Homo-oligomer: A and B are copies of this chain.
């Protein structure tokens, strides 16, 4: 890069040509997660919880009528964070929720139209706070439950190289439709250097590389829920410990023992003195639970 030697920074900037290089387009995608519940018929039983993500059916090309993570272009006058928050608000009406940058996807051929670099964000919202239940939306946005299954796992010890492969099937479904994506994770170990590669080998009705992105987000959630307090972003103001436990179980896809779970998180919550049968219409045929709130001083 050879440039004329300007004396002052001001002079330099005045003469700078910002279109010297061909530029990629930059977009944001916001993965909106929430906890949904299936109501049960039994008056005694609690609702079944599941992790859900909001997807949008594309109206135009490319990937017309396939399902995609909501997103759009970053305007020239807004920060990338702001663009993500804007997309979130447009789609769900909510603001001031948990919003964390996930990853920037920079492969050359992600979008058939042109070179697009996309920064993805994770948003965690509590379903009670959603003004409009998405799904009524003109956009054809719907919540999909998320589940992932390991299809294959393989480790090969060669001479100078260890290769680890795992194939995951990601399933996104609701009452009307079921989407799926097969993701292959490859770890390549040579000497001390571990290289990890993620690719989407096949996919059913999911736009772009969004299956891969959802998988990546799920892994991030699993990690962060273990050592941070992000789970509380999915809770309402008051919650029972069983509800909180369900959120952990749904994201980590494993069961806890109630007694152990309570000890694990007791320093993060505050007893409110309220009970689950006092608020709302949740009359259940069993012992009412104490309602807790998040303890902002826990660490």
Bound: A191/B232 CA distance, A = 9
CB of A275 within 8 A of chain B?
Answer: no
Q: Which residue of B lies closest to A120 (CB)?
A: B104
Known A157-B297, A192-B232, A192-B294; judge A22-B114 contact (CB<8 A).
Answer: no
CB of A119 within 8 A of chain B?
Answer: yes
Residue of A12, A22, A115, A232 with highest tally of chain B CB at under 10 A: A115
**In the complex, chain B residues whose CB is within 8 Å of the CB of A60:** 1, 3, 5, 12
Q: Is the CB of B233 within 8 A of A192?
A: yes
Q: Is the CB of A18 within 8 A of B25?
A: yes
Main SS at interface, chain A: loop
Q: Which residue of B lies closest to A16 (CB)?
A: B113
Q: Is the CB of B119 within 8 A of A26?
A: no
Residue of B16, B77, B106, B155 touching A74 (CB-CB under 8 A): B106
Interface size on A, residues (CB 8 A): 67
Q: Is the CB of A108 within 8 A of B96?
A: no
Q: Is the CB of A18 within 8 A of B114?
A: yes
**In the complex, chain B residues whose CB is within 8 Å of the CB of A73:** 21
CB of A61 within 8 A of chain B?
Answer: yes
| The 9 A-B residue pairs with the shortest CB-CB distance in the complex, in nearest-first order | A80-B106, A12-B61, A18-B114, A189-B296, A192-B232, A23-B23, A162-B296, A104-B104, A22-B76
Q: What are 18 A-B interface contacts by the 8 Å CB criterion? A: A8-B61, A9-B112, A12-B61, A13-B61, A16-B113, A16-B114, A18-B25, A21-B75, A22-B76, A23-B25, A23-B26, A26-B26, A26-B117, A80-B104, A80-B117, A96-B193, A98-B193, A194-B229
